[in-house]
Structure 1
Amino acid sequence: MWRQPKTVWSIAFACVISFMGIGLVDPILKPIADELGAGPSQVSLLFTSYLAVMGVAMLGTGWVSSRVGAKRTLLIGLALIIVGAALAGSQDSVGGIVAFRALWGLGNALFIATALATIVGAASGSVKQAIILYEAALGVGIATGPLLGGWLGGISWRWPFYGVAVLMALAFIATVTTLPATPPAATPTSLGAPLRALGHRGLLTVGVTSLLYNFGFFTLLAFTPFPLAMGAHEIGFIFFGWGVLLAVTSVFVAPLVQRRFGTMAGIVGALLGFAVILAVMAVATESKTLLVVCVVLAGAFLGVNNTLITETVMKVAPVERGVASAAYSFVRFSGGAIAPWLAGTLGERSVHLPFWVGSGAVFAAVLVLLTARSIIGALDHEDDHGAEPVASRVEAEALTVGDA
């Protein structure tokens, strides 16, 4: 898995920096609220605008990438992130930060959907290994994001935004210099392709499952800093521990769980474990010690779930992987966009309520997923866990030859 073309490593590095942006904001949510006089529901809009724009924009990523090529799409996405992050850090109101977080989300949409398809297409080895590598980049980025955010946020809440802009500039340079030119697709993807892909029952079911699961995920991410009521450094270290456990389990534990219990059982077990943790957090919200332990332990279940469900998305529908990724991300980020705002609004009434709602949503995700158990279970019995579209093989050959 670790013997990859430099194409894969350059994209993986950019993915690490990109995913830093998710957790990097966490330690500074309360400082932003305190300095700008905003409540949890207002500050949570930093996540909502980012994820809402990202989800809708996912529908057009394939259309753009197939016409200008993967490399140009990645560079456009990175450039938008740089501008959005830098301008967000320069604002004096929550509304201004929210607006430029939306621009950041647009850039992330172009980057993430294209990056996943590019890594899967260009990587040597199996699809499973490529996805584990992608999830490792996700885990490292999410783990180091809060740590960097806490360190920079201890100076000023503005510095984490500027930090992302600088790191993304480095990722931009790495992508320019190491990724070979990728021509437009022979057959451009239509704007409606992701929506048509959702007509496949397996892909739609997994997407809705992730939509519901994201209510729990972003409740943990966007609301927990408020009942913890700690400084940026402390929050950064807590979510660093969470991210490290997420990264380790996504790379090393998820494959073991899949081999021992199967894909379906692995996802269901991880989701149920996460639902229980959120329920414990709902009961014991006043205990900061228990909240910290639950946040860190949640990383283990999220790491297993992320790897297994991402692999399932890439293989459950007979469509090109870029289209599958865009369709899936559109659905799941809808939940991600609503969840932070809902958690912040509910949290202003009761600090227990967001965790109860998050736990219930994750449990509902399990019930939805079980409706497609025969489709998902069949993946474990197929070669390479599913079909590999011809277009993906051609893309893989083109990228590998270009890299050589």
Structure 2
Amino acid sequence: MQQVRPLDMKDINEEFNEQNSHILKQPKSVWAVFFAAIIAFMGLGLVDPILPAIAEQLDAAPSQATLLFTSYNAIMAVAMLITGTISSRIGLKGTLLCGIVIIALFSGLGGLSNGIWALVALRGGWGLGNALFVATALTAIVTLSKSGNVKAVILYEAAIGLGISVGPLLGGWLGAMSWRGPFLGVATLMVIAFIGLTTLMPKAEKTQTAKSKTSIKDPFRALKHPSLLVFGIAAAFYNYGFFTLLAFAPFILGLDEHGLGFVFLGWGLLLAITSVVMAPRLQEHFGVVGPMAVMLILFAGALFAMGVWHETQWLVITAVVAAGAMLGNNNTLITTAVMNATDVDRSTASASYSFLRFIGGAIAPFAAGKLAEIYNPAMPFIVAAVCVFGAMLIMVINYEHIKHVR
């Protein structure tokens, strides 16, 4: 049983100040990371509307085009294990800037490539850069924020939502001109993010999160904590559903790049709004575990409906957009839960959790394409619905390990 250190007056004052500080009252360094995160996650949405166009113009099957998400998530999952090791040696700022440079390089090269397999490989390099940035951005915002963990996570999820929502609209516009446009667009935006972080973030040594260097074994050791392991495994199953929707829905919607951009704009806007406005209220009144279970059930239902009625365009569009609300709530709730589940260093906890969840995100896109080719377009969504429902069951069965998390 873990011993709890009693709070002294300094601890009480710090907790009081954090709870009563406004979420918008942040240092410039937090806003620099916030805006860079918007651009980084914009890159994810930028590619989504052009998947059918890539498959058509590069003469690739849907299961090959969806490998753009599989290689991205697979490399990101593995790379998450070394983010803490790298950031403990070169600092948060150095790690963020390295991630941005790698994203810019590989997305730019992707825009200049001429074959599906080269594009898949380069997308994997993009995933490496995104791993360095994503895991470190969450840690940086939580560490540098003056408003407490919960509000810092809300701010991080808001950046994700804004990036994901604006990305498809911009991707649809650029993709309508050429499928290369979104890749080159991401590279350009990353240059802007690099300038912003270089200018506004403090020196690397001021953002160092640990006095001792982190070992590559630490993320595996962190998974010995039952609560972190439960949330990580549940997130892997949940992300299977998330990336099935993101990677395969464009192939059954029957829309052009502009149409897909607007559909996923609506999806992303609901994701952003609920992650900032609704999720904190749910947590305040009901904790995190109960609302997460409800959102997972609703998301599983939406995926099941997409599978059963996959030929009814208006219903699939409605389900995709509505799923944004479920995902926005769940993303904030589970990220908050992971940050508060253990006394493990934040960057290490984030790396462990992200490793597990992106495994699900790596398997889903390719599996969805193959299931559609072998069976029918309904099967990817039915399997995804079962996985998401399974995520809920994992939390319920292991409730004793996570009931302390609020």
Which range, TM-score by smaller chain? over 0.9
2:157 maps to 1:135:
yes
2:55 maps to 1:33:
yes
Q: Which amino acid aligns with 1:249?
A: T
* Residue 375 of structure 1, CA deviation: 3.5
* Residue 230 of structure 1, CA deviation: 1.1
2:238 maps to 1:223:
no
* Residue 24 of structure 1, CA deviation: 1.1
Q: Which amino acid aligns with 2:104?
A: I
2:300 maps to 1:275:
yes
User: Residue 202 of structure 1 is aligned with which of 214, 217, 227?
Assistant: 227
2:385 maps to 1:368:
no
| Correspondence for 1:171 | 193
User: Residue 359 of structure 1 is aligned with which of 385, 388, 404?
Assistant: 385
2:185 maps to 1:160:
no
Q: Which amino acid aligns with 1:320?
A: D
Q: 2: distance between equivalents of 1:131 and 1:16? A: 14
Q: 2: distance between equivalents of 1:376 and 1:195? A: 19
User: Residue 340 of structure 1 is aligned with which of 347, 361, 365?
Assistant: 365
Which 5+ residue runs of structure 2 have no aligned equivalent?
1-22
| Correspondence for 1:44 | 66
Q: Secondary structure at the match of 2:134?
A: helix
| Correspondence for 1:399 | none
Q: Which moved more, 1:179-188 or 1:26-35?
A: 179-188
Q: Secondary structure at the match of 1:89?
A: helix
| Correspondence for 1:295 | 320
| Correspondence for 1:60 | 82
* Residue 53 of structure 1, CA deviation: 0.4
| Correspondence for 1:91 | 113
Q: 2: distance between equivalents of 1:250 and 1:372? A: 25
TM-score by length of 2: 0.92
Query: Is this contact kept in 2: 1:316–1:375, CA < 8 A?
Result: no
* Residue 261 of structure 1, CA deviation: 2.1
Q: Secondary structure at the match of 2:112?
A: coil
| Correspondence for 1:3 | 25
Q: 2: distance between equivalents of 1:278 and 1:136? A: 24
Query: Is this contact kept in 2: 1:215–1:339, CA < 8 A?
Result: yes
Q: Secondary structure at the match of 1:191?
A: coil
Query: Is this contact kept in 2: 1:243–1:299, CA < 8 A?
Result: yes
2:140 maps to 1:118:
yes
Q: 1: distance between equivalents of 2:257 and 2:163? A: 18
Alpha-carbon RMSD: 0.9
Q: 2: distance between equivalents of 1:56 and 1:273? A: 30
Q: Which amino acid aligns with 1:275?
A: A
2:100 maps to 1:78:
yes
Which 4+ residue blocks in structure 1 deviate beyond 3 angstroms? none
* Residue 219 of structure 1, CA deviation: 0.8
Q: Which amino acid aligns with 2:383?
A: V
Q: Which amino acid aligns with 1:159?
A: G
* Residue 257 of structure 1, CA deviation: 1.3
> What CA deviation, in whole Å up to 9, does each residue of 1:7-59 have, x standing for no partner?
00000001001111111111000000011111110001100111100000000
Q: Secondary structure at the match of 1:186?
A: coil
* Residue 256 of structure 1, CA deviation: 1.3
Query: Is this contact kept in 2: 1:263–1:377, CA < 8 A?
Result: no
Q: Which amino acid aligns with 1:65?
A: S
> What CA deviation, in whole Å up to 9, does each residue of 1:240-263 have, x standing for no partner?
000000000000000111122221
TM-score by length of 1: 0.93
Q: 1: distance between equivalents of 2:193 and 2:372? A: 37
Q: 2: distance between equivalents of 1:211 and 1:375? A: 18
Q: Which amino acid aligns with 2:330?
A: N
2:131 maps to 1:109:
yes
